[in-house]
Amino acid sequence: MKKLINAPDNVVTDALAGLAAAHPSLRVDLENKVIVRGDAPRPGKVGLVSGGGSGHEPLHGGFVGYGMLDAACAGEVFTSPVPDQMLAATQAVNGGAGVLHIVKNYTGDILNFQMAAELADDEDIEVVSVVVNDDVAVQDSLYTAGRRGVGATVFVEKIAGALAEEGAPLADVAAVAREVNERSRSFGVALTSCTIPAVGKPTFELAEAEIELGIGIHGEPGRERTTITSAHDLTGTVLDAIGADMPLSGDLLVMVNGMGGTPLLEQYILFNEVQQYLQAHGARVARNLVGNYITSLDMQGFSVTVTQLTDTLTRLWDAPVDTPGLRWGR
């Protein structure tokens, strides 16, 4: 394993120190591994807190700032943070209007955020949790852990953050977060495995020309292994899977996301195919993101996330945002 690190056990704190140095407008608590907006808590504003395992940068810490998250907690690589961190973040952003927890649907994240919510409740901080579960690669079911939360998390954080910035109450912010999640679907593909620093070797092995369809952002295996095809065919497979679960029509917000090791050149090639597929299916890509937004360390691969827009969601998407990872309008 060749990595640009000091020691596997220090990657998260070292990276957070770098984030703090690069973005003085953020407050980074290295002890609790919590990234907070410089001006938090904002009295009367609903606080948005998310977090999860590290290794998905810029998610979540890179989305803290005006119009998006108020705080993020960073766990160890691919391991959800602990309740203490989440409580510290919740306290730091509580402006009296309550706090929204945006939780990706993984057992670890669910359980730890649940405990954190109880701790916050003990301190009379009103907390509502919204669970993101947009990954169609996983069959949903009442009896399983259900679908994984992936790309839609970026959209939920941006759109709910915009509404909170407008001063909306906690119930409305939670409602729009749920709405975005319900209107979003994602599917990921891996060309190579990621390598977790503490493990030192790839999580899985793929043969030359072999790819994993439905890969998870932690390198969890997906639907099946198959042989790589053209960007055109691969995009078709991905969008067929998404379309089988949600009608692809009307105005869409679409993200082509790089997993961390895939060049932007290839991501634009993929986006071209996605745009043509959706156009051919009578939908319109009204808004888009192309780049590395929710990654899996050094994995080569991509994911596509599609959200059915409404006029309100489009307006909130267009609203100004100023974070290390997403910025426009100011």
Partner 1 sequence: MDADVFRAWITAIAALTQEQRDHLTQLDAAIGDADHGTNLARGFAAVLAALEADHPATPGAVLTLTGRTLISKVGGASGPLYGTAFRRAGKSLGDAADVDLAALATALEAALAGVQQLGAAREGDKTMVDVLAPATSAFRKAVAEGRPAPEALAALAEAAQAGAEATVSMQALKGRASYLGPRSVGHEDPGAASSALMLGALRDTVLAGP
Choosing from 32, 50, 79, 195, the residue that interacts with Mg ion (CB under 5 A) is 79
In the stretch 61-100, what mask flags binding to a second copy with x, by CB under 8 A? -x--------------------------------------
Near a second copy by CB under 8 A: residue from 86, 120, 234, 294 = 234
The footprint of ligand ADP on this chain (CB under 6 A) covers a number of residues equal to 4
Whether residue 101 lies in the annotated active site: no
Instruction: Please state the three-class secondary structure of the chain as a single string.
Output: CCCCCCCHHHHHHHHHHHHHHHCCCEEEECCCCEEEECCCCCCCCCEEEEEEEECCCCCCHHHECECCECEEEEEEECCCCCHHHHHHHHHHHCCCCCEEEEEECCHHHHHHHHHHHHHHHHCCCCEEEEEECCECCCCCCCCCCCCCCCCHHHHHHHHHHHHHHCCCCHHHHHHHHHHHHHCEEEEEEECCCCECCCCCCECCCCCCCEEEECCCCCCCCCCEEEECCCHHHHHHHHHHHHHCCCCCCEEEEEEEEECCCCCHHHHHHHHHHHHHHHHHCCEEEEEEEEECCCCCCCCCEEEEEEEECCHHHHHHHHCCEECCCCEECC
| Catalytic member of 23, 60, 101, 218 | 218
Instruction: Using the rule CB under 8 A, give the single segment among 99-107, 173-181, 223-231, 308-316 that binds a second copy.
Output: 223-231
Residue 139 partner contact from ligand ADP, a second copy, partner 1, none using kind-dependent CB cut-offs of 5 to 8 Å? partner 1
Q: How far is the CB of 223 from a second copy (least distance, A)?
A: 18
For a second copy, how many residues bind (rule: CB under 8 A)? 59
Q: Which is nearer to partner 1, 83 or 161 (CB)?
A: 83
Q: Is 281 a catalytic residue?
A: no
Q: Going residue by residue from 112 to 141, which x/- string records binding to ligand ADP, judged by CB under 6 A?
A: ------------------------------
Q: Provide the binding-site residues for a second copy, judged by CB under 8 A.
A: 2-7, 11, 14-19, 21-22, 54-55, 57-58, 62, 191-192, 208-209, 211, 228, 230-232, 234, 260-273, 275, 285, 288, 290, 292, 295, 297-298, 300, 302, 322, 327-330
List contacts with Mg ion (CB under 5 A). 78-79
Q: Which residues are catalytic?
A: 56, 218
